Structure 1
């Protein structure tokens, strides 16, 4: 490595949901200063040749069922390059500390004696619903929201507490566990007519929204061929979907009319 920045260091950058407009100024500056960039598949990596000219770009992205580089391997790469004197930027989709394993990477750097900084990013939990015109809170409708991981099925205790809290539920990485999720929410008392939106590939040209109520969403998702990456939004705020995604509003009205038949 060139070591042009002297002592090595690591910067964790939250790249947001993939749109350049949602990257922070601090994140862009860190990328411009990077010697090495380790990036995820959901980060805005197509911009890197322009944002990090001259940097070594390393794809460490994981796909469902395919992890070419383990989490431990990623941490070793960061540390090894930093020890050589490089400024290493770990570019992650969304925010490093929102279901992004950023905490693990920070602890690994600290244990190795590597200076590490975290630059927050715009989490997809907020940005993707907004892209579909769905506010997570709205006066008189919802005054709270809960963000959960759908990577693994939730426990009965977690499901019961979610239903009891009320408000809006946002699920990241929840496509594969959708049937278990909705069955569990119904089992613990969630009303059958609560609407759910599944927003695929938010903030991209391929963004698509599928909306139904909780009793019909599994069939609707299968019919639409829903796949990851996607964000699930559960709650009455889904009925407020507006200008951000006219298609979502149209589908919701159609779903409501079919329910009434």
Structure 2
């Protein structure tokens, strides 16, 4: 195939091919990625593993033929398509090299995922996902890919981290594109650094697609800006997995600004108690924003002194983001906006 036609074919795959009958010819292990690319563009794809598998109906109905790898030299395939439709060839490396892409899914819903993340899923051979990566129908976003639910949720990892890294690396070393889909951003309490290190250690190419962190996005969805002119010029994101040690609580209290606690609902009382003992007033505004960006989102607003009891009475649970600081008062401003609709349970800030 001449250079011009190769260039045109490269452009074609980025256009809308909705309904176009495409026949892909080549060994199954080499055609999977090609099939996904054309299906992503909307084409109706038929696959033939050899010239013998090319039915008359598929050959006559094709409006584009794609010969992959060894199929480029199959005379029977070219003869069957000759004069019927344009033919594109796609040579493949003798030893395809896999790769890993860590993708931040954002705080919830496909609309909050980046275009780069959606493209990565569309090109994936394997997707390793967990509970917080809620982007809808992954099978539709990653057509033909193997989807592995590694089952991570707070306090319970059905698949241990070292096993996740082994799966990721093994699939990539087999020549596959592996997407590790993670809630929020891979580098904000997402163990992304460990997974990058595992890929690098195995000699596997790796890239990271950032995502909107729940530490910023979820408070914002409840009208709580983590910074606000004249109120808070800094914010600190803290893991709530374990209670705060006294010296850390004192440091946070002395630093001021906004404190955002992730994964801390099971430690809500110890966390708020530690911050009070560290020097913050019991009257410091504090909030729990539960199930952010879902139809069941709700905000429970109080103070460091009252929030644990309010959350317990409301039955609040993970996933939730805890916000501490004067910026929490802005949630009352948000509730008064024109056209606002009440979402779940909202309690007034206790001054």
TM superposition score category, shorter chain reference: over 0.9
Q: Does 1:224 align with 2:320?
A: no
SS at 2:167's partner residue? helix
- Per the alignment, residue 227 of structure 2 pairs with 137
Matched residue, 1:93: 183
Q: What are the residue-to-residue correspondences of 1:229-248 with 2, within 5 Å?
A: 229-241=319-331, 242=334, 243=337, 246=342
**TM-score normalised according to structure 1 size:** 0.93
* Distance (Å, rounded) in 1 between the aligned partners of 2:207 and 2:100: 6
Partner of 2:348: 252
Residues 64-109 of structure 1, C-alpha deviations (whole Å, 9 max, x = no match): 3432100000000001111111100000000000010000000011
Q: Aligned partners of 2:271, 2:192: CA distance in 1, in Å?
A: 26
Match for residue 10 of structure 1 among 78, 94, 100: 100
- Whole-angstrom CA distance in 2 between matches of 1:110 and 1:224: 45
Q: Gapped runs of 5+ residues in structure 1?
A: 257-261
Provide closer, same or farther for how the CA distance between residues 181 and 106 of structure 1 changes in structure 2, counting only shifts above 3 A: same
Q: How does 1:29-40 map to 2 (within 5 A)?
A: 29-40=119-130
CA contact (8 A) 2:215 2:321 kept: yes
Structure 1 position 247, deviation (Å):
5.4
Q: 1:250 to 1:90 in 2, by over 3 A?
A: closer
1:163 and 1:131 map into 2 onto residues whose CA distance is 25
Q: Which structure's CA Rg is the greater one?
A: 2
Higher normalized contact order (CA 8 Å, seq sep 6+, divided by chain length): 1
Let me know the Cα RMSD of the aligned residues: 1.8
The residue aligned with 1:28 is: 118
CA distance in 1, matches of 2:170, 2:126: 11
Structure 1 residue 45: deviation in Å? 4.5
Structure 1 CA distance, aligned partners of 2:199 and 2:288? 36
Asked if 1:67 corresponds to 2:163, the answer is: no
Superposition deviation, residue 248 in structure 1: 8.3
Distance 1:60 1:91 in 2: 10
* Secondary structure in 1 matching 2:179: strand
Q: Tell whether the 8 Å contact from 1:2 to 1:85 is kept in structure 2 after alignment.
A: no
Corresponding position of 1:107 = 197
Deviations, residues 189-212 of structure 1 (Å, cap 9, x unaligned): 101111111011100111111111
Which 4+ runs in 1 deviate beyond 4 A?
243-250
Q: Which residue does the alignment assign to 1:203?
A: 293
| Counterpart contact for 1:83–1:114, Cα < 8 Å | yes
Match of 2:137, SS state, is helix
> Matches of 2:341 and 2:215 in 1, distance apart?
16
Given the alignment, which residue of 15, 40, 51 partners 2:141? 51
Is residue 199–residue 208 contact of structure 1 (8 Å, CA) maintained in 2?
yes
* 1:149 has 2:176 as partner: no
Name the counterpart of 2:69: none
Structure 2 gap segments, 5+ residues each? 1-27, 34-95
* TM-score (norm. length: structure 2): 0.70
Residue-by-residue CA offset, 1:210-243 (whole Å, 9 max, x unaligned): 1111111111111011111100010011101114
CA contact (8 A) 1:16 1:95 kept: yes
